[in-house]
Amino acid sequence: MARDTVRLVRRVDFEASHRLRVHSLSEAENRERFGRECDLHGHNWALCVGFEGQVDPVTGMVVNIADVDDFLRAHVVAELDHRRLDLDHASFRDVPPTAENVAVWVWARIGRPFDGVALVSVQVREGARAEAEYRGEPGRVDGTQMVELTRAYEFSASHRLHSDDMSDDENRALYGKCNNPNGHGHDYRVEITVRGPVACETGGVVDVPWLDALAQREVVDRMHYRHLNTDVPELNGMAPTTENLTRAVFDLLAPAFEGASADLRRVRVYETPKSWFDCEAEST
């Protein structure tokens, strides 16, 4: 991003129902691909739309937020809000309204409505546990778009911050109350971000039941209602800080993505709503 450029993100919300199906697949194949998303249900959706441009020297704005809201309401939200996306929306009768496909549709729908201002990201949040982000791809012509999908999982665990490489006094001084010998605990939230091509006909970066089963097996089953210092071998010999936990989760998940159609891009672990830690794959 150029030094004189600023990015702004505006969020607008809508409510809609959907059911995910690919018409050419059998019932069993659809269920394997989409899991419970095959059944009719609804979500609170949020669109976070990013624009970049130069700051106007008179107004101090990249673009007037009121104009962004007016545009998004008239051209995007009006098409999605209080609809059943797979029936009431012409664009999603033949392609399933996954978060990935909705993000690609919103991107195309927005286009370039403001002079000198570029659309740079469309993030579609489907409920509290899934979101897709599309950042466009000028010139891509093979009918697939690269989209990031993030899904969230939770587990509850106890830990004690303590390093065997320091004395008891040093541990107490560094970690404070987190060094309590009997430990303390958190409700952790783990967000897994994968990136891959989306073929519009199927609408998924990855099979969601596969990702959910992977997260369940490698993260939740290993850590839920456990004591991280003693019960998780991957953390043996190190202080179970959330930095180390985030790295351990990334390393537990990564082997499953070898040869997969999507890449593991990022693991984010929230220790509390006020602090979170990211471990990212190297840029490709």
Residues labelled catalytic? 38, 82, 126
Q: Which is closer to Ni ion, CB of 37 or CB of 263?
A: 37
Please state, in angstroms and rounded to a whole number, the distance separating the CA atoms of residues 155 and 271. Answer: 10
Q: Which is closer to Ni ion, CB of 37 or CB of 271?
A: 37
Token pair in block for residue 112: 């370039």
Shortest gap between Cβ of 100 and Ni ion (angstroms)? Answer: 12
Torsion sign, CA atoms 52, 56, 57, 59: negative
User: Could you give phi then psi for residue 194, rounded to 5 degrees?
Assistant: -120, 155
The set of residues, in sequence order, having a beta carbon less than 8 Å from that of 2 and lying 6+ positions away, is: none
The interface mask with Ni ion, positions 36-55, x = CB under 5 A, is -x------------------
Please state, in angstroms and rounded to a whole number, the distance separating the CA atoms of residues 36 and 258. Answer: 26
Pairing type for strands 184-199 and 263-272 reads: antiparallel
Candidate ranges 31-39, 227-235, 251-259, 272-280; the one touching Ni ion (CB under 5 A): 31-39
Shortest gap between Cβ of 200 and Ni ion (angstroms)? Answer: 17
Please state, in angstroms and rounded to a whole number, the distance separating the CA atoms of residues 251 and 255. Answer: 7
DSSP 94: S
The interface mask with Ni ion, positions 67-96, x = CB under 5 A, is ------------------------------
- The neighbouring-strand residues paired with 192 are 151, 267
Q: Which is closer to Ni ion, CB of 37 or CB of 86?
A: 37
Shortest gap between Cβ of 17 and Ni ion (angstroms)? Answer: 8
Total residues contacting Ni ion by CB under 5 A comes to: 1
Q: Which is closer to Ni ion, CB of 15 or CB of 221?
A: 15
Candidate ranges 35-43, 139-147, 170-178, 203-211; the one touching Ni ion (CB under 5 A): 35-43
Candidate ranges 32-40, 76-84, 193-201, 267-275; the one touching Ni ion (CB under 5 A): 32-40
Residue 221, classed as helix, strand or coil, is helix
Q: Which positions touch Ni ion (CB under 5 A)? A: 37
